[in-house]
Amino acid sequence: MASEINFLQFDPVYRQLQKLKVKVREENVSPEINAEIERIIDLIKIRSDYCDENAASPSKDLQLIMDATVRHPWQTAYDEGKLSFLPTPLMMIGNLEAQLLRSLTSMGNVKRVLELGLFTGCSALAMAESLPEDGKVISCEIDPYIANLARSLLDKTTCGNKVDIMRGSAKDSLKILAEKKMEFDLIFIDVDKSGYSLYYKMIFDLGLLAPGGTILVDNALFFGDPYTKEGFIGDGGEGVARFNDVVRQDESVHKILVPIRDGLMIVRRKEDVGKSN
């Protein structure tokens, strides 16, 4: 089940407490202190579980994709040369974030959604389920194996027909969509972290964000790396930190970084959220 994924790995505080727990045991610190550390760890878990329990349950279709992603033999596919890198189910959004995407997609008059980074289709389907019948999600995916897997899973769902998959790099896909004069009410970025700043700039320069549109950027906290500088997962944190700096310095937009899962940056043009002093 998708619930078996330990999303707490995103939280550097949780990771640090786990290290402290081991150190305390090795140094024979008093049982009372050890018990307090265990209690703090439990509270972090309980809060995470409580949020999950109070979110809407995933649809049967969404659960199908989540379960298939967890069960998929990623290591075997990688060993057989079908994949250029080894994916992990952690790349998939959890149900909590999926329901947030559904809520945000349902607000306003969202009809066209652009997604950079499809993976197995969980986020694409979550957004598609809130679109009207004539709504469309265009999802860009560079890896052929993953694109084919996502297509096969989406084809088993009721709203999967609302998702079109563009194969190729995000950069090339953005250029093609701009040439077609397409605009999107909602753009979800969840692709290579080193390219976040570039894709953000291209979206505005190419006029891909429709008037009143919203940009959502996943992993804006990236395992805590942008603010801890730990480098927990490769150099991705540096790319995300650069992107966060770009957004923070962009005076033309209203932005908020929501600490849900691995962080979600929400960006809108200032004129679309009203005037401020």
pLDDT in tens, 91-109: 999 999 999 999 999 998 8
Do 75 and 117 fall into the same domain? yes
Mean pLDDT value across residues 250-259: 96
Alpha-carbon span 260 to 41, nearest angstrom: 18
Its sign, for the CA torsion 214, 215, 219, 225, is: negative
Domain count, the chain: 2
Mean residue pLDDT across the chain: 94
* Residue 181 within a domain: yes
Do 77 and 168 fall into the same domain? yes
Do 132 and 39 fall into the same domain? no
Q: Where are the alpha helices (DSSP H) in 2-59?
A: 12-26, 31-53
* Residue 72 within a domain: yes
Q: What is the DSSP letter of 85?
A: S
* Residue 16 within a domain: yes
Do 28 and 123 fall into the same domain? no
pLDDT at 198 over 70: yes
Which pLDDT score is estimated for 75?
97
Mean pLDDT value across residues 218-235: 90
Do 40 and 132 fall into the same domain? no
Which pLDDT score is estimated for 9?
86
Both tokens of residue 12? 């550097």
Look up the domain containing 221 and give its range. 60-272
Phi first, then psi: what are they for 164, rounded to 5°? Answer: -105, 140
Residue where one domain finishes, among candidates 13, 29, 53: 53
* Residue 277 within a domain: no
* Residue 209 within a domain: yes
Q: What b-and-e string marks burial along 212-242, b requiring 16 or more CB atoms within 10 Å of the CB?
A: ebbbbbbbbbbbbbbeeeeebbeebbbbbbb
Do 86 and 218 fall into the same domain? yes
Do 18 and 118 fall into the same domain? no
Parallel, antiparallel or unpaired: strands 184-189 and 163-167:
unpaired
Measured N-to-C along each axis, helices 236-249 and 196-205 cross at an angle, to the nearest 10 degrees, of 40
Do 113 and 42 fall into the same domain? no
State in Å, rounded, how far the first CA of the chain is from the last one.
Answer: 48
Do 21 and 138 fall into the same domain? no
CA 212 to mean position of chain CA atoms: 22
Contacts of 184 (CB under 8 A, 6+ apart): 112, 113, 114, 138, 208, 209, 210, 213
Instruction: Indicate which CATH number applies to the domain containing 186.
Output: 3.40.50.150
List 137's β-bridge partners, or say none. Answer: 113, 163
Phi first, then psi: what are they for 120, rounded to 5°? Answer: -90, 5
Do 216 and 252 fall into the same domain? yes
Do 197 and 261 fall into the same domain? yes
Alpha-carbon span 168 to 184, nearest angstrom: 19
Which pLDDT score is estimated for 27?
84
Residue where one domain finishes, among candidates 53, 75, 92: 53
* Residue 184 within a domain: yes
Which pLDDT score is estimated for 274?
85
Both tokens of residue 239? 């790319």
Going by pLDDT thresholds of 50, 70 and 90, the confidence category of residue 7 is: confident
Do 77 and 97 fall into the same domain? yes
DSSP H helix total and E strand total for the chain: 11, 7
Mean pLDDT value across residues 55-83: 97
Mean pLDDT value across residues 146-172: 97
